[in-house]
Amino acid sequence: MSKIKVAVFGCGAIAQRRHIPEYAANENVELVAFADPIVERAEEMAETYGGKAYSSYEELLANETVDAVSVCTPNYLHAPMAIAAANAGKHVLVEKPMAVSTEEGEQMIEAAKKNGVYLMVGHNQRLMPPHVKAKEILDSGKLGKVLNFRTSFGHPGPEGWSVDGAESWFFRKEEAIMGAMGDLGVHKSDFIRYLLNDEVSEVAGFISTLHKEGTQVDDNATCLLRMKSGAIGTLVASWTQYRAGDNSTVLWCENGVMKIGTVEGDEVIVELTNGTVETYKVGAMATNEKQVPSGVIDAFVESIVTQTPPAISGEEGLRSLQVILAAFESEKTGQIVKL
């Protein structure tokens, strides 16, 4: 079988640390081209991994034969780039949040459908080993119904992660549109929907810029969620957890509690009301400091190779985005927003 030819749009942190190395490690892939407006970044990737460098994605699409692309750019470019790639007949893996509005998300899904290509969203939380294990346990039914939950994701902020540090696009409202909510909150809205196999029906959001200076994007959010099943819980996203960042989820259920990512080394803890305690050491969560393979790239490639639509589809990405958009709407209006 011939290798899948892949191009990467945007050569910043997520591309350099996850997408590109993970494509390079996949035997079914040939990396053929890289695009970045700071062309030196694309050139550096091309030198390291082979392939050609371009300063614009349009030029890349016009000159290269590729099967698939990864869109690893500032949020406001996700939709135009994904749509252009789909219209050029390429499968698309787009970073989260997939878009910055419902309309954009719908246009992306439509473009992929019309051109017979796959659209996948990089919600890697679903694929982290502790989360895979947690879903397996929950789906087994031993905990019974989920009644109440909290899920949160926080770290010190993009200045430590982005290749541009404090000058990063993450802090520029016109490029990022959303701050911690678009970066971290959408991971958690996606994960809780997936884990509970349930949809969010109502959202109340408290979203603020509490501590980051010189930016208009949010750095903290706490949201209340009601699920269709009736379960209620909180979702927290923060860029100001300067010590001991958090990527954890706790579910209080009829028959006990499940704690995910709360204790290092014991990634999943199940405490049943009958007194049994089970702990699962199932591999760490990826953090900014400690990269572990995300699984997203392999899943995307697998979809293309086996011609199976991706589980983390555009539709899934859109539903997770709509929860976040509803939280912003709630913050603005002071009302609970129904989905």
Identify the structural domains of the chain with CATH numbers, from first to last. 4-124+294-311 (3.40.50.720), 125-290+321-338 (3.30.360.10)
pLDDT string in tens for the chain (339-residue length): 799 999 999 999 999 999 999 999 999 999 999 999 999 999 999 999 999 999 999 999 999 999 999 999 999 999 999 999 999 999 999 999 999 999 999 999 999 999 999 999 999 999 999 999 999 999 999 999 999 999 999 999 999 999 999 999 999 999 999 999 999 999 999 999 999 999 999 999 999 999 999 999 999 999 999 999 999 999 999 999 999 899 999 999 999 999 999 998 889 999 999 999 999 998 777 666 666 678 999 999 999 999 999 999 999 999 999 999 999 999 999 999 999
Does residue 260 contact residue 267 with C-beta atoms inside 8 Å? yes
- pTM for the full model? 0.96
